[in-house]
Copies of this chain bind each other. A is one copy, B any other.
């Protein structure tokens, strides 16, 4: 029933580093199964200590925190290939929640085996650290965006990042991609109000820079949008998959 790592289509996407046959075999040992959850399901909960780790095989999700005043900060949009639960695996407790935006297929790993990654497979441990460092890198960009960019720049930044990510996964067809989030999600990610996010999107639409409606995102000229976003390097590095 479950996909074998060997046959996993994800591995072959551009974004990911290739793995040796032997590495794949090793990973297979960790996989305890697959899990499918409906849109809206909370997969990991802030403060909890999940016994499981996941890799997203299909679908999209949302990382977020809820502040004491009830406000929500979206930290990250989750795409196929993303690894979930590292924080719980390392520090014993999640500092954010993860919620499925679409129906989600997850590859499930057992956390109790986590240690053997480090003991037996230094290369896998290195990949794990790489992923943590990559997330930190991204969060640094996010802070800079929320702190220093204007609304137009921030929204452009987010859309470019999303689009690049999707390109690396082969999810862009004819300059368009599935983008199943709602405007409130983007607003909460950028520290903007829903109303202003809406107006900003409208402005980008009018300027022919980005069209997002009905769950579909189209970017006619990625270069131009990046310019507006004040983004220089447009190439995300190849990343390991876990």
Contacts and interface: CB of A to CB of B under 8 A. Distances in A.
Contact of A137 (B73, B91, B140, B144): B91
Interface residues on A, range: 35 or more
A140 B65 contact: yes
Given A132-B132, A140-B95, A143-B142, A148 B118 contact: no
This chain: how many copies in the complex?
2
Contact of A128 (B129, B137, B143, B230): B129
Contact of A136 (B72, B119, B122, B132): B132
A73 B147 CA distance: 7
A215 interface: no
Q: Which of A115, A139, A142 has the most CB of B within 10 A?
A: A139
B118 A75 contact: no
Interface string A168-207: 0000000000000000000011110000000000000000
B73 A133 contact: no
Contacts of A136: 87, 132, 135-136, 139
A143 B75 contact: yes
A125 interface: yes
Interface string A59-73: 000000101110111
B191 A95 contact: no
B133 A90 contact: yes
A223 to B, nearest CB: 14
A119 to B, nearest CB: 5
28 contacts: A65-B140, A67-B148, A67-B149, A67-B230, A68-B230, A68-B231, A69-B230, A72-B148, A73-B143, A73-B144, A73-B147, A73-B148, A87-B133, A87-B136, A90-B130, A91-B130, A91-B134, A115-B122, A115-B126, A118-B118, A118-B126, A119-B122, A132-B136, A135-B136, A136-B136, A139-B142, A143-B143, A147-B191
Given A67-B149, A115-B122, 16 more contacts: A67-B144, A68-B230, A73-B140, A73-B148, A75-B144, A87-B137, A91-B130, A91-B133, A91-B137, A95-B140, A118-B129, A125-B129, A129-B132, A132-B136, A139-B140, A147-B190
